[in-house]
Structures are given as structure tokens and as C-alpha cells.
Structure 1
Amino acid sequence: MTVAHCGTVSALTLGLPASTAIPEAKGNLPKAMFVGRAAMSAKLGKQLKNDITGITMLAITRPTNTTLAAGAKIPEILVIGLHLAPKVTTVPTEAIELIAAQRKSGIVFAVVRDMPFEGTTREECTLAVRRALPGRAGHTPVHQVFAGEWRPAGEAILDTDEVPEGGSLDDLWESICAQIILGSSNGVDLDARITRRSQIRQLEATVDKLVRDHQRAKDADQRNEIYAQLHKAKQQLDALVAQATE
């Protein structure tokens, strides 16, 4: 069977089981199937029309074609390829939002682009997911599109070994999200780890600002106040970094 591909990227090049791969004849997804189900901004319309040259279903992971158990939250995991038009280099987050919001499935997007490299052109791929941010129960969830690093297309891999035989699709989804968002295949306590990373980034920005403010301050009392704030922020940052490395 010839499997569906986006550029040279397919279920097989991503390291997924052959049983999950979609046949090439069934892979093409017309853009029109995603249009008309939700309000569309001019920016999104342009992105779908001009920035993406093709949408391809690459793989579907279900309990029926793997050894995984059914998930309580994730009924299936889709892998969809988005091929970018020439000279388009950024992840099409609005299009990913549109597509991912239309299904309860977990969806991994393999975004493929062509980039100049050493006098020629190299095909590159990044993997992206749309995920609800950690929040309080009972509140409307807020989603965000996360994307990993751009890599040569042949080096874009999804590690499925972290989930043992008999694990669930929920476990696989958490592992995949961890790979893309945090660079780790360990999906345990992922929401807490995402929150901690966000807090670390915020504190790093706060420390940088306070360092600059302390350097510019001329009044002694003001410098002492800023130094106290800086010392507290550094302590909080060190504690979070230590938790992240445990």
C-alpha cells in the first residue's frame, strides 16, 4: 500500500505504526470541508487560500488498529499534514485552530515547508497541537496552538514507545503533547509542567526587567526596593527551575 504523504512526510517517516497509515488515495482533504462551520476572519480565509497548498490525512490511531485501550477523553488521534506555499515559513495557527476545533479527536499537525539551505532547498517539518491551557474547573477552556522546532523533514519523529502496551489513547496523547510542547515523551502531570514552564518564562522576564531597572535607578531607596524585588523573584525562579529538573 502506498501511504498518504505531505511532501515526503508520512505516518511511516514519523515513526508511527503502518497499521495507522492512511492510503494515498484517501489522504487528500479538500479545504472546503473545513469552511462554513465557523465564522472566518479575512486573515484565516487568506491563510487557507494562499498559505496552505494542501491538507492531507496521514494517520489515524484507534484502539482497533493498535494495542492501545480506548481513551476516556481522546477517542482517536489524527495526524494531518499541512503543506505550506513557497515563501511561507510560519506555522498557520489560525488554520490549525479552525481544523482542530471541529473534532473531539486529538490532532497532530505535521506542517511542512521548503527552506533555502546551503545553496539549495531543504524540506522541513514541525509538529503542532492545539491544547486547552490548564485552568480552573467550571471555566470556559482557553486553547493554544503549540509547535515544536523546525527540523529536516526526515528527522520529525513521534515517539510512541513511552506508552506501554495496554496503555490508552489518552496516555499517548499526553505523551505526544509533551514531546511537542516540552521536548519530553513523558506525559505525566503535563498540565502542571506546562504551567510551571509558563511561570518560569514570566519570572525570567521579570528578573531581566528588574535587573535593568536596578541599573538605571539613581535613588538609593529606589535601588534597595528594586533589589529586594529582584532577590525575591530570583528565589522563586530558582525554586521553579529546581522543581522542573526533579
Structure 2
Amino acid sequence: MMTVAACGSVSALTLGLPKTTAVPARKGILPKQMFYARVPISSRLKRHFTDQVDSIAMLGLVRPANTGVADGSHCHEILVLGVRINGAEVPEDVLAFIASRRSGGIVFVVVRDSDGDGKAHAEECILAVCRKAPGRVGHVAETKLYMGEWGPAGDVRLTMHGPTLDEAWDSFCAQAVLGVEDGADLDARILRRDRIVTLRTQVAKLERDHARAKAPAQRNEIYAKLHKARRQLDELQA
């Protein structure tokens, strides 16, 4: 039986991906230096590679040939990359840099030690992807790193959905960004989620400002803004 590549306790098989996508252990380990040896990078980024990243492993490769999923018009293969980190903070610049060096989609499975449950050597992981952030029409779309929520390494799954790699990629992104498998209308749903977060922050600030305001005119002005923000938030959450 083939031994598959792993990042800590996480592999393509523990994630629930098809066995055909799993990378053999002998081919999975990727030296950190290979990502930046031939391209100039800042001393800060190199330090993050060196200090914050423990190891990098290619866990899986999703292609039409090994899944039976049809090729996409934009996405032709998806790499599942395990990144074992030192400490609690995700080196976001490292992930963004790695993603920028490859034309295909990458799902990052970031693994770290967990100290929250008291179990020796317990691990947790988080899914992350880089994709063009939805924005206004006519504006250049910026690539953004999205991350999900930390969970026990043994519980995190990555499920394939869709008849083509385009749909499979959107589903993987939905799982990383929103925690759901449905990748339909993903950009609109990300915009809605981000708008809700912004409005909640705005409402909380306006509530504090209204409580502190003394002058009636100022209180009325703040309350009008607060009422508008609450109404918009209610509409989005309906």
C-alpha cells in the first residue's frame, strides 16, 4: 500500500479527498528554499519562511485525469498544500507569495500544535485560499488570502463538488472562506458576508458614540446613522 504525503497528522486521505489525488510520501516533501531560491524576496518574507514555517508538503493534486472531473475553462488543476507552522500566527505573506508563483489554484491546509485541549501533540488546522476579491465593476480585482476557522486536525474535511474543475475550485474556496460546500455565486456571498461584518462593527461603534454623546443635536445625528446601519444589517441578515 502506498504511503501518502502528510503534513503533521493531515493527509489527502484524512481530508476525505479521493485516494487517486493523494501524493506519495516520497514526492510530497517540498524544501522551503525551492519557493524563493530563484526569485528575489524581501528579508522579512525570507525570515517568515525560515522562522514561521516548519515544513511544506504537497498532499494532493486534483486533475481531470485522476478524478474523472471535467477540465475547467479557468482552472485546470488544484494543488492541496500542507503548511506546518511554528507558533500560532499564520504567515499570510508566505501563503500569498506561494500562491502568486503558480497559475493553478492552491488550497492551503495550515497545521499547528494545539494547546487548547491539554492533549499531548494535538494538532489543529485551517483551510486557506488565494482568489481575486470581488469588487466594483471597472476596478482591477485584487488577489486576497482568505482563511476559515481553526478546527481539530482530525475533523477538517475538504469535499469535492461539481462536474468541472471550475466548480470544484469554487467549492473548495467556499469551504475555506464560508465553511460551506456550495460554491455557487461565491463572490456575491463573500461580498455579503464582508458587508455584514462591516455593518456589525459600525453599529457597535455608533452605539458607543450615542451613549457618550451629550448634546441633543449630536445624539440625534448619531441615532439617525445608527438606525440606517441597523436597517441595512437586518436586510442583509434576513
TM range (shorter): over 0.9
Indicate the SS of the match to 1:121. Answer: coil
Letter in 2 for 1:135: G
CA distance in 1, matches of 2:58, 2:24: 9
Which of the residues 161, 164, 170 maps onto 2:166?
170
CA distance in 2, matches of 1:145, 1:207: 26
CA contact (8 A) 1:75 1:104 kept: no
Q: Shift of residue 44 of structure 1?
A: 1.2
| Equivalent residue number for residue 190 of structure 2 | 194
CA distance in 1, matches of 2:209, 2:229: 14
Letter in 1 for 2:176: I
Q: Shift of residue 198 of structure 1?
A: 0.9
Q: Shift of residue 137 of structure 1?
A: 5.1
**Which runs of structure 2 are paired with 1:19-38 in the superposition (5 Å)?**
19-36=20-37, 38=39
- Point out where structure 2 has 5 or more consecutive residues left out of the alignment: none
Q: Shift of residue 51 of structure 1?
A: 1.4
Instruction: Count residues with an aligned counterpart.
Output: 236
| Equivalent residue number for residue 152 of structure 2 | 152
CA distance in 2, matches of 1:119, 1:104: 39
CA distance in 1, matches of 2:137, 2:38: 27
- Point out where structure 1 has 5 or more consecutive residues left out of the alignment: none
Q: Say if 2:201 is the partner of 1:205.
A: yes
**Which runs of structure 2 are paired with 1:12-91 in the superposition (5 Å)?**
12-36=13-37, 38-85=39-86, 88-91=87-90
| Equivalent residue number for residue 126 of structure 1 | 126
- State TM-score, norm by structure 1: 0.91
Give CA deviations for 1:54-88 in whole Å, capped at 9, x if unaligned: 11111000001112111111110000111123xx1
Q: Shift of residue 181 of structure 1?
A: 0.7
**Percent of pairs identical after alignment?**
50
Q: Shift of residue 138 of structure 1?
A: 5.4
CA distance in 2, matches of 1:12, 1:97: 25
Indicate the SS of the match to 1:81. Answer: strand
Alignment CA distance shift 1:140-1:39 (3 Å): farther
| Equivalent residue number for residue 183 of structure 1 | 179
CA distance in 2, matches of 1:118, 1:41: 38
CA contact (8 A) 1:54 1:84 kept: yes
CA distance in 2, matches of 1:119, 1:152: 11
CA distance in 2, matches of 1:136, 1:10: 38
